[in-house]
C-alpha cells in the first residue's frame, strides 16, 4: 500500500485546479476525457470550456449539427473524436433519455468510448472500482515496477491491466485514479522526470537501476505514409473562394478545404504529369503561381502541402459537384483542417492586396 498511499498523499498537495476535477457529472467528465485524449491540458482546456458553454448538457450536444461540432473542434486534430462524440450524445439521448450512463458496462458499449475512458467516467462519477490506464499510468507503473513488456502489445496491455486492477483494491477509485494520472503527468514525466523530489524513488525500479529513460517499452510503429497535396486557391472580385467538402474514407472527412490534386511525388519531379492533371481539371489555359509550401505532420502520415494561386481557369461544376463558391465570412464558419486555417490566416490578406 506504500505505492498507493504516497501517490494519493502527493496528489492532495500537488494537484492542479481544473474545472472538471471533482465533478461527478458524467457528461462533464466525458467532455474532458475525450478532448484531452492525445491533447495536452493547456491546449485542451479552452476547447473544454467552449464546448461546455455552447452545449451545457448532453441533450444540447446531441441537437448540434456535425458542422457545428467540427467547427468548434477545429485545431484539436483527430476529428473522428468529434464525430464520435456527436454520435454518442445522440445515442445517449435516444437510449437513455439524455441521462449520461455512469456504469462501466453501459459506457463501454458507447461509440468512441474505450476501456480507459469508460473506467475514468465510471470511477469519477459513481466511484466504480475500475482502474484507469492512460499513457501517464503506463509510464509510472512500468518505471516503478520494472515492467519490460511493451505497453502497446497485447501481452503488455494484459500485464498492466492485471497490475492496475490489483493496485486499486482497497482504494477510493475516484481519488486514486485521479492521483495516479496526475502523478504521471506532473511528477513521472516522459522526459526529465522529477526523480530527486519523487516520494516513490526508494522503491522505484527504474531509478535504482538507471533505466528511467528506457521505460516504458513500446513496439516500433509502422513507417508513416508520405503524401503530396497540391491545393489551388481561387478567388473572384467579390472575394468569394472555391472550397471543397472532403468525403468519407480519408483524413479530415466532412471538413472543408480547397480544390486539390494529390500527386505521387513533389510536382517538380513529374512536371508534365502534374501539368496534364491541372489542365484536365481546370482547362488548357489556366495558370498557376506557387504561394506557399509546408510539411504537415499527422500521427500516421506526413503530408507535403503546396498552395497555388489559380488564374484563367474553368470549373465544370456538373463534374465537380463537391466544389462550390463561398464568401470568406461563410468559409470562416465552416470546419477546416488546421493546414487550411493556417494558410488563410497567414496568406489571404497578402493575396487580396
CB contact burial 146-162 (16+ within 10 A = b; e otherwise): ebebbbeeeebbebbee
Three-state SS at 235: strand
Which pLDDT score, from 0 to 100, does residue 350 have?
61
pLDDT digits (tens, 9 = 90+) for 190-222: 998 999 999 999 999 999 999 999 999 998 877
pLDDT digits (tens, 9 = 90+) for 119-150: 999 999 999 999 999 999 999 999 999 999 99
pLDDT digits (tens, 9 = 90+) for 30-63: 999 999 988 899 999 999 999 999 999 999 999 9
pLDDT digits (tens, 9 = 90+) for 318-331: 777 889 999 999 99
Can you spell out the DSSP letters for 179-216? HHHHHHHHTS-SSS--GGG-TTGGG-HHHHTT-TTT-S
Query: Is 33 known to be catalytic?
Result: yes
pLDDT digits (tens, 9 = 90+) for 255-298: 999 999 998 888 766 678 888 888 888 888 888 899 999 999 98
Average pLDDT, the chain: 92
Across the chain, where does the E strand assignment appear? Answer: 225-233, 240-245, 256-257, 260-263, 287-297, 301-311, 323-327
pLDDT digits (tens, 9 = 90+) for 68-119: 999 999 998 889 999 999 999 999 999 999 999 999 999 999 988 999 999 9
Residues ≥6 apart with Cβ < 8 Å to 180: 7, 132, 136, 137, 140
Which pLDDT score, from 0 to 100, does residue 352 have?
53
Q: How many CB atoms lie within 10 A of CB 125?
A: 22
Which pLDDT score, from 0 to 100, does residue 98 have?
94
Which pLDDT score, from 0 to 100, does residue 1 have?
78
Going by pLDDT thresholds of 50, 70 and 90, the confidence category of residue 349 is: low
Q: Which of the following is catalytic: 6, 17, 33, 269?
A: 33
What's the N-to-C CA distance of the chain in angstroms?
67
Percent of the chain scored above 70 by pLDDT? 97
Amino acid at each position: 500500500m506504500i505505492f498507493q498511499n504516497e501517490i494519493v498523499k502527493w496528489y492532495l498537495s500537488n494537484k492542479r485546479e481544473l474545472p472538471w476535477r471533482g465533478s461527478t457529472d458524467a457528461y462533464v467528465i466525458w467532455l474532458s476525457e475525450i478532448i484531452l485524449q492525445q491533447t495536452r491540458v493547456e491546449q485542451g482546456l479552452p476547447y473544454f470550456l467552449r464546448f461546455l458553454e455552447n452545449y451545457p448538457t448532453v441533450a444540447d450536444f446531441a441537437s448540434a449539427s456535425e458542422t457545428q461540432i467540427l467547427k468548434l473542434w477545429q485545431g484539436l486534430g483527430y476529428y473522428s473524436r468529434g464525430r464520435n462524440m456527436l454520435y454518442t450524445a445522440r445515442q445517449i439521448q435516444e437510449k437513455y433519455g439524455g441521462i449520461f450512463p455512469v456504469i462501466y458496462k453501459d459506457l463501454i458499449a458507447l461509440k468512441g468510448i474505450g476501456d480507459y475512458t469508460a473506467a475514468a467516467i465510471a470511477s469519477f462519477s459513481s466511484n466504480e472500482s475500475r482502474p484507469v490506464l492512460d499513457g501517464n499510468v503506463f509510464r509510472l507503473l512500468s518505471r516503478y515496477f520494472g515492467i519490460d513488456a511493451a505497453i502497446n502489445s497485447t501481452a503488455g496491455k494484459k500485464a498492466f491491466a492485471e497490475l492496475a486492477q490489483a493496485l486499486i483494491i482497497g482504494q477510493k477509485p475516484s481519488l486514486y485514479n485521479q492521483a495516479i494520472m496526475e502523478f504521471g503527468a506532473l511528477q513521472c514525466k516522459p522526459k526529465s522526470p522529477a526523480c530527486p523530489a519523487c516520494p516513490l524513488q526508494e522503491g522505484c525500479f527504474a531509478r535504482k537501476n538507471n533505466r528511467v529513460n528506457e521505460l516504458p517499452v513500446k513496439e516500433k510503429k509502422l513507417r508513416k505514409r508520405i503524401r503530396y497535396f497540391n491545393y489551388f486557391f481561387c478567388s473572384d472580385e467579390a472575394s468569394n473562394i472555391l472550397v471543397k467538402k472532403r468525403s468519407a474514407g480519408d483524413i479530415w472527412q466532412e471538413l472543408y478545404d480547397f480544390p486539390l490534386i494529390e500527386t505521387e511525388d513533389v510536382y517538380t519531379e513529374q512536371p508534365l504529369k502534374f501539368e496534364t492533371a491541372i489542365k484536365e481539371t481546370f482547362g488548357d489555359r489556366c495558370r498557376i503561381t506557387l504561394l506557399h509550401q509546408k510539411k504537415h505532420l499527422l500521427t500516421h502520415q506526413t503530408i507535403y502541402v503546396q498552395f497555388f494561386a489559380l488564374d484563367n481557369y474553368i470549373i465544370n461544376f456538373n463534374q465537380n459537384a463537391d466544389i462550390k463558391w463561398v464568401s470568406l465570412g461563410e468559409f470562416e464558419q465552416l470546419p477546416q483542417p488546421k493546414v487550411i486555417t493556417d494558410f488563410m490566416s497567414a496568406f489571404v490578406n497578402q493575396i487580396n492586396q
